[in-house]
Chain A
Amino acid sequence: GEDVEQSLFLSVREGDSSVINCTYTDSSSTYLYWYKQEPGAGLQLLTYIFSNMDMKQDQRLTVLLNKKDKHLSLRIADTQTGDSAIYFCAETSRGGGADGLTFGKGTHLIIQP
């Protein structure tokens, strides 16, 4: 199966909270990341969490990590039209080697007016 899994689409109303979920498989991952990709652009690091943390908050973003269930979530408070993008969950590659990150397929966040 896939190393990192995410649902492909999420639709929310403007002003509501968005919660994007991710499951991963490598329990040895040191860091877990959320990247944002806007149309026609590269990926931009949104936030990351160290594996010994349960939660990290940064302005409108809250990351929750459940290591027991290997579940990571990203909550965006007061979702705005500018948050419309693809969000990728990523973990450090298996074995902690230098071969970058393993990405999920991305969740398309759709904002309804």
Chain B
Amino acid sequence: NAGVTQTPKFRVLKTGQSMTLLCAQDMNHEYMYWYRQDPGMGLRLIHYSVGEGTTAKGEVPDGYNVSRLKKQNFLLGLESAAPSQTSVYFCASSYYVERKLFFGSGTQLSVL
């Protein structure tokens, strides 16, 4: 049972480049989330999804897009990367009721 898997684990981008982060979960969870973690800022919600085909904005959505074409996958896209998007990105998933989040191991992204 893999849980929540994120790829890639590390990535370095130049300003203006684009990339997609992939999150996959095998727990049949309805809800999926993308957070970013920055020093001194804790975790901040970027986007989330309550089911296949649905997405919604979180606290810091600007500069990011997401898609949930399949229930088990949640993709986070950066269309034109900026240095301010240098961060560690975490994907998480949960069932509805208890909302216990299960996290992936993170993606370290640096934008130069």
Report A's interface with B, CB cutoff 8 A.
30-31, 33, 35, 40-45, 48, 88, 92, 98-101, 103-106
Q: Which B residues between 18 and 50 are near A, CB-CB below 8 angstroms?
A: 31, 33, 35, 40-43, 45, 48, 50
Whether A45 lies near B58 (C-beta < 8 A) is no
Bound form: Cα–Cα A100–B60 in Å: 14
With A103-B42, A105-B40, A106-B42: A98-B48 Cβ-Cβ less than 8 Å:
yes
Contact A99 B45 (CB under 8 A): yes
Cα A33 to Cα B100 in complex, Å, equals: 8
Query: Is B103's CB within 8 Å of the partner chain A?
Result: yes
Chain B: interface size category: 20 to 34
**Of residues 54 to 112 in B, which have CB atoms within 8 Å of A's CB atoms?**
56, 58, 90, 92, 94, 96, 98-106
Q: Which residue of A33, A98, A106 is within 8 Å of B50 (Cβ)?
A: A98
**Chain A positions within 8 Å of B40 at CB level:** 105
How far is the CB of A98 from the nearest CB of chain B, in Å?
5
Partner of A42, one of B31, B48, B99, B106: B106
Q: Measured between alpha carbons, how far is A27 from B65 in the docked complex, in Å?
A: 32
Known: A100-B33, A100-B94. A41 touches B106 (CB 8 A): yes
In angstroms, Cα B12 to Cα A15, docked, is 41
CA distance A104 to B40 in the complex (A): 10
Looking across the interface, which residue of chain B has its beta carbon closest to that of A4?
B42
